[in-house]
Homo-oligomer: A and B are copies of this chain.
Amino acid sequence: MQLHFTAETSSDGVVDRSFTVGDVPGVLWSPESPAPGAPLLLMGHGGGLHKRAAGLVARARDAVVRDGFHVAAIDAPGHGDRPRSDQDQRWVDAMLQARADGESLAPSIEPYNTSLAERSVPEWRATIDALQSLPEIAEDAPVGYSGMTLASAIGIPLAVAEPRIRAAIFGGVFVYDAVLQAARNLTIPVEFLLPWDDAEISRESGLAVFDAFASEEKTLIAFPGSHFRVPAEQFDTRFFARKLGAGLVSATG
């Protein structure tokens, strides 16, 4: 599928282009003068959020300016600019009701996240194909993936299925069997962020995911609080530059 740009702005050294690949809308942030072979970093949004969530945009622009990366985000099904199916809405309603009632989210979040991951993995792969066919992104550009909560439920199986993804940051993910099974097949360098006091996601389940990763290079980063707010300083801004190499930022002035 081809990528179509639908809007472009530029500020503070970052070119911001909205695009579609098929019916999936996305954003590509790039340096004004990207280096040949600059890495491509995929950023997934959290559950209920979208491709232009404030924290995601801030981290994306940082990665462009600091590392010379291209950064891309897409809306998950039923998120952002995408219509939500009746079935998805029922899962969301059940999850919010369970949260309000202080009951387990598992009966709704497991099938919902599983279904979203099944739909999103091929969308992300088609997006990588389309991005790497752009003249300014190399066909063999190293690819990284970063995203917590829903973006980890999608990203862990994506990184297992997609050999172009060479390093990833995950975390704060609701854990069920499919997540653990995918984790056991992950072999790339990974950092895993674990909120230490999460009322909805047990500490033990997070430790089990980290333990399950087959990666020789893996780092667990745990900190007080819940998955609703991860301190910005907990994101290791040096990780992707170490694992993917940096774009030559000098070319951007």
Interface residues, chain A, with chain B CB atoms under 8 Å away: 194, 196, 207, 210-211, 216-224, 233-234, 242
Contacts and interface: CB of A to CB of B under 8 A. Distances in A.
Contacts of A221: 219-221
A201 B194 CA distance: 22
Contacts of A196: 210-211, 220
A207 B234 CA distance: 18
B219 A222 contact: yes
B234 A224 contact: no
Nearest to A219: B223
Contacts of A222: 210, 219-220, 222
A222 B209 CA distance: 13
A216 B224 CA distance: 7
Given A233-B242, A242-B233, A218 B223 contact: yes
A207 B208 CA distance: 13
Nearest to A231: B217
The 7 nearest A-B residue pairs measured at CB: A220-B222, A219-B223, A221-B221, A219-B221, A218-B224, A216-B224, A220-B220
A101 B223 CA distance: 37
A31 B218 CA distance: 34
A234 B224 CA distance: 19
